[in-house]
Amino acid sequence: MTEMQVTAAPGVPQVLTAREFDAPRELVYRAFTEPDLLVQWLGPRRYTMTVDRFDLRDGGTWRYVHSDDAGNAFGFHGVFHGEASPDGMVQTFEFEGAPGNVQMDTVTFEESGGKTTVRTNSVFQSVEARDAMVNAGMAGGMSEGYERLEDLLAKLIANA
């Protein structure tokens, strides 16, 4: 299985990740931008994801909730910036449990030889805010979500 690469340099309020998927770019982009697909992979397996809003246009807002069997629910929301395309997308990200903290994410999709590399670039308001997100399990949650995405993409390709 392909591993997710993570870079979180000391003193820099940024986290970079890269992960290759065995799928064409158009399909990976669909999995990032169609709510019906997004809920099937984004985040750890223990959460059920519900999308409240997903207005994929410049200035449009999104919101989703992760719920677990114990009754916990975690809300996240943000705003899309610019026109999303299979080249990439830019959006802000706020965890509603930590109001006032805003993260800005740039995601790009690069296809080569039928495989697609997804790169994420998250910038934070401070190194402290970055470290808080890293310590909250950001990379582990993303990595588990990407394992689910790999399975979803394989299923979509098999059923195409």
From 1, 36, 59, 112, residue interacting with its own copies (rule: CB under 8 A): 59
d(CA 121, CA 109): 12
Rg (CA), the chain: 15
Q: In the window 12-41, what residues touch its own copies (CB under 8 A)?
A: 12-14
Q: In the window 64-123, what residues touch its own copies (CB under 8 A)?
A: 79, 81-82, 90, 92, 94, 99-100, 102, 104, 106, 121, 123
Please state whether 77 falls in left (phi above 0), alpha (psi between -120 and 50) or beta: beta
Residue 126 is given by DSSP the state: S
- Taking Cα atoms as reference points, which of 79, 82, 76 lies closest to residue 60? 79
Between 100 and 113, CB nearer to its own copies: 100
d(CA 49, CA 159): 23
Between 13 and 75, CB nearer to its own copies: 13
Which of the stretches 5-13, 22-30, 32-40, 148-156 binds its own copies when contact is defined by CB under 8 A? 5-13
Between 13 and 24, CB nearer to its own copies: 13
Q: Does 125 bind its own copies (CB under 8 A)?
A: yes
For residues 1 and 147, the answer to whether their CB atoms sit within 8 Å is: yes
Binding site for its own copies (CB under 8 A): 9, 11-14, 59, 61, 79, 81-82, 90, 92, 94, 99-100, 102, 104, 106, 121, 123-126
